Amino acid sequence: MSTSPLVSLIVLIVHDDQRIGATLRSCIDQSMHDVEIICVAGSMPADPALAERKAADPRVRIARSEDSSASGLRRTGVSAATAPYVLFLEPGDELISGAAEDAHKKATQGNADIVGFADATGAQDGVVSERMQKARNTVLHEENIVRGLFPANAGSHGRVTGFLFRTELLRAVYTALPAGSSDDAVEVFLACAAARTYAPLGESAHLRLSGRGSAEVAHSSAALSQDMGSLDAVTAIQPIVREWARHSPNPEPLLDGYEALRLSGVARALARVHRVPEARQMQEIKPLRARIDEIDIIAAASTFAPETLPTLTRLGTSIELGRKPVRNVLLRTNILTTGGVSNVLRTQAQVFLDAGYGVTIATHLHGSDESLVPEGATLVAVSGSSRRDRLARWVEVCREHEVDVVIDHRVLYSRDWPGYALAARASGAATIGWLHNFAGRPTYNGTDLHTLLHDNLPALAQLIVLSPLDVAFWKLRGIPRTAFLPNPPSPMLLGSAGDVAPKPAPVGRRLEVVWWGRLEEHTKKVTHLVEVARSLKRLGVDFRLRIIGPDWTDMSAAQLSTLVTRRGLDDVVDVIGPRHGDDLLEAIDSSDIFINTSIIEGYLLTIPEAQSRGLPVVMYDLPWLLPVQDNPGVIAVRQGDANALAAAVAALAADPDRYSALSRASIAAAERATSYDFAALYQQLVSGTLPAEYSPEPTLEDARVSLDLLVFYAERNAEQSVEAAKASANGRARATSASRSIGQRVEGKLTGTGHRVLALAPWLRPLARRVKHALLRS
């Protein structure tokens, strides 16, 4: 070795460990000879291999530390180091022969303060694999080091091994640290905050880690105590971080990184509580709650350990509707626009305002139309750079507006709603979740949203769905506080009440068929409209079909018009884009039949809207829909059969008496749709006094129908996946695949083929067992 080593390899020994021999061998066998190997222990290790190595190689030396904690060992090692760079190892860690040389070369060539072994493998606690995913494989400078390695809303680095540090950098960190035990992650964070340059070592493997999360082995009985110590260490450096941030021209990455470090530590402790038996969880969480504010615990769970949110729900105090008078209601949505959910929310807001409640509307996305806010309601934005900031803002809104009940319209459209429900609970407000689609929607979409919903719906004081069958589904899944309510009527529906005469039958003239809504293929199957028109033309019907609505993410008016042209239907199909107000009303009133091709919906307000203008409705069967229950103004054909839909339209147009009867029935059905006393229903909802008729108990027939529908949607999802794979393999455009007649592929009514649905949707097993037991009893 030259007069001074280039790299100090510091091996941390908390207690006897038989793996020390392998670690020492990997250090001694380094291609760079100019290393020193410092074994740091709180007491003289008993392992004879260490003494033998020390005697055989003068580069090996032993340093004793009065502080036997891992942090104390690291401090002692850095103090004893004589090389300009240090690298920490634990017993069982192994370096490849060129690791020290390659890391030193990377550091000196780039003048790097930190070199990251981003390819380190072998940890069993998931920390290193997390780092591999988060750390950027690029050179970082100044505040971008913390931004890259400790990003907001992402995990933090849990161990100090796997980095080469400039020795003076660590000495400065240890000088700044308060007295007492520190933590791996704290030291790495402060080193990153103080460093000027970080460089990754590269793609080839240089280090195999032992699999321990820390030099201090965390046995199950002491694990939570260790987590609390880590949290205390993170809290202890808060004054340092604030002081450094005060002198930084760009403090946000440092402050955001510190929050990520702190909350990921909270999440680690919470995850440990989550894994212990339920009987012990309340006791185990007490030290965490004694140190950390409940909102921060919720933010940590939401950001880093969402699987623990159900545990937080169970370990908290639920807020039942009706336990206190309700004066102020908060309605939550993504954005306030003219869309379907926004229309429901706006009507709800007006009903609550008219009943004397205070109303706040909270949105999460930019771009809300403030002109749509009902007079007397308050619109607030819930924003922030991190989930913690947004949750804190949410609690601030709840408290500032003295919110008693939250009605959350985002439950089916976001994955973060459980955290907001728990945060509202922490501020004293109960949350009602509102599902705007049929229970089979996640199955049709092929997502795991059913699992998230099932696990977290207990955080709600009440779940509101849109049909009795939805109530049955969720009760069968173990969510007893479920009820259905109709959607409030739209302005068109209200404006038509009692003011429309039955339509004259289309005799001796062209049949006018209309569809309106958003041009969405996934759920509304707008390309089926073209197939219906194609079939009507083959049947010799004299007709025109007008398709009205705005573009959507998977279909546009231009794409649909191209399909119309390709099918040779330009003379009978008009794709006319969006229409509003009087223009839309004129198009509806000049039509004879409203058709609908949706494969799945929650309420489908266009049905009562069409019926309010006297139009009979011909549609694909959606048997759970509340607007079609006991509705003789509706003709339903089997799902996906465009030819059957066209045949039903043609038959109705050819039968004037039947047409007139359906037109009268439609008007009567629309009047029923506006007959609900929504003021009374909403007051009953927030006070927990909804009549039992809105929360029926599930029947065996409900279970059978639910399973049939879920089989159907699981198979439709499988079909779509196969088609997408074929289209990708063949280089075909998605739009071309979507234009094919799905009616040619869809089977008839499905039965409860249990094995099929369970293979496609395994989360249904508990429901299937209940149905099986019920069948055995029947």
Per residue in 145-157, pLDDT tens?
A: 998 888 877 766 6
Residue 733 has φ and ψ, to the nearest 5°, of -75, 150
Write the pLDDT tens digit of every residue in 317-364. 999 999 999 999 999 999 998 878 898 999 999 999 999 999 999 999
Is the per-residue pLDDT at 506 higher than 80?
Answer: yes
CB 604 within 8 A of CB 625: yes
Is the per-residue pLDDT at 66 higher than 90?
Answer: no
Is the per-residue pLDDT at 734 higher than 70?
Answer: no
Q: Can you tell me the mean pLDDT for 243-262?
A: 92
Is the per-residue pLDDT at 272 higher than 60?
Answer: yes
Amino acid at 131: R
Report d(CA 212, CA 17) in Å as an integer: 12
103, 94, 304, 102: which is closest to 211 by C-alpha? 94
Report d(CA 58, CA 499) in Å as an integer: 101
- Over the chain, what is the mean pLDDT? 87
163, 190, 164: which is closest to 178 by C-alpha? 190
Report d(CA 504, CA 500) in Å as an integer: 12
CA dihedral (718, 719, 722, 724) in degrees, to 10, reads -110
Strand 60-64 versus strand 462-465 pairing type: unpaired
Report d(CA 58, CA 232) in Å as an integer: 39
Name the strand (E) or helix (H) holding 589: helix 581-589
pLDDT for position 694? 97
pLDDT for position 219? 42
Amino acid at 743: G
Name the strand (E) or helix (H) holding 166: strand 163-166
Among 264-278, 559-573, 754-768, name the one with the lowest average pLDDT. 754-768
Report d(CA 518, CA 361) in Å as an integer: 24
pLDDT for position 227? 85
Is the per-residue pLDDT at 750 higher than 70?
Answer: no
Q: Can you tell me the mean pLDDT for 252-256?
A: 91
How many angstroms from the chain centroid is the CA of residue 363? 17
Is the per-residue pLDDT at 710 higher than 70?
Answer: yes
**In 567-655, which residue ranges form alpha helices assigned H by DSSP?**
581-589, 606-612, 642-653
CB 200 within 8 A of CB 118: yes
CB 587 within 8 A of CB 514: yes
pLDDT for position 135? 52
Task: Print the SS3 string covering 231-260.
Answer: HHHHHHCHHHHHHHHHCCCCCHHHHHHHHH
CB 333 within 8 A of CB 411: no
Among 184-188, 339-343, 381-385, name the one with the lowest average pLDDT. 339-343
The helix/strand/coil state of 490 is: coil
Report d(CA 467, CA 602) in Å as an integer: 8
Q: Within 13 Å of residue 386, how many CA atoms lie on the same side as its CB?
A: 27
Q: Look-up: residue for tokens 């694909």?
A: 620
pLDDT for position 19? 78
Write the pLDDT tens digit of every residue in 405-448. 999 999 998 999 999 999 999 999 999 999 999 999 999 999 98
pLDDT for position 15? 65
CB 364 within 8 A of CB 334: yes
CB 184 within 8 A of CB 99: no
Q: Look-up: residue for tokens 């510190």?
A: 258
pLDDT band at residue 118 using 50, 70 and 90 as cut-offs: low
Write the pLDDT tens digit of every residue in 577-614. 999 889 999 999 999 999 999 999 999 999 999 999 99
Write the pLDDT tens digit of every residue in 671-703. 999 899 999 999 999 999 999 999 999 999 999
Is the per-residue pLDDT at 220 higher than 60?
Answer: no
pLDDT for position 127? 39
Among 20-24, 278-282, 753-757, name the one with the lowest average pLDDT. 753-757
Residue 121: CB atoms within 10 Å: 14
CB 299 within 8 A of CB 387: yes
pLDDT for position 746? 32
Write the pLDDT tens digit of every residue in 553-582. 999 999 999 999 999 999 999 999 999 889
Is the per-residue pLDDT at 170 higher than 80?
Answer: yes
Among 82-86, 214-218, 731-735, name the one with the lowest average pLDDT. 214-218
pLDDT for position 51? 56
Write the pLDDT tens digit of every residue in 617-662. 999 999 999 999 999 999 999 999 999 999 999 999 999 999 999 9
More confident residue, 303 or 180: 303
